[in-house]
Structure 1
Amino acid sequence: MTVTEENAPASHYDRIGGASSVKAAVELFYDKVLADPVSAAYFADVDMASQRRHLAMMLTVVLGGPNEYTGRGLAEAHQPLNIPVAHYVKVGEYLTVTLAELGVPADILADVQTVLGQVQGQVVSAGNRSGA
Structure 2
Amino acid sequence: MTVTEETAPASHYDRIGGASSVKAAVELFYEKVLVDPALAGYFADVDMAGQRRHLALMLTVVLGGPNEYTGRGLAEAHQPLNIPVEHYAKVGEYLTVTLTELGVPADILADVQIVLGQVQDQVVAAGDRSDA
Q: Aligned pair in 2 of structure 1 residues 13, 130: CA closer, same or farther (>3 Å)?
A: closer
| Two-structure CA RMSD over aligned residues (Å) | 1.0
Identity %: 88
Aligned-partner SS, 1:35:
coil
When normalised by structure 1's length, the TM-score is 0.96
Match of 1:99 in 2: 99
CA positional deviation for 1:129: 1.0
CA offsets, 1:32-57, max 9 Å, x none? 00010111010010000000000000
Q: What does 1:37-56 correspond to in 2, within 5 Å?
A: 37-56=37-56
Q: Which amino acid aligns with 1:117?
A: G
CA distance in 1, matches of 2:48, 2:128: 26
Match of 1:78 in 2: 78
Task: Give the aligned length.
Answer: 131
CA distance in 1, matches of 2:41, 2:5: 45
Aligned-partner SS, 2:34:
helix
Q: What does 1:1-132 correspond to in 2, within 5 Å?
A: 1-130=1-130
Q: Which segments of 5 or more consecutive residues in structure 2 lack a partner in the other structure?
A: none
When normalised by structure 2's length, the TM-score is 0.96
CA offsets, 1:69-92, max 9 Å, x none? 000000000000000100000000
Any runs of at least 4 consecutive aligned residues in structure 1 with deviations exceeding 6 A, and if so which? none
Q: Which segments of 5 or more consecutive residues in structure 1 lack a partner in the other structure?
A: none
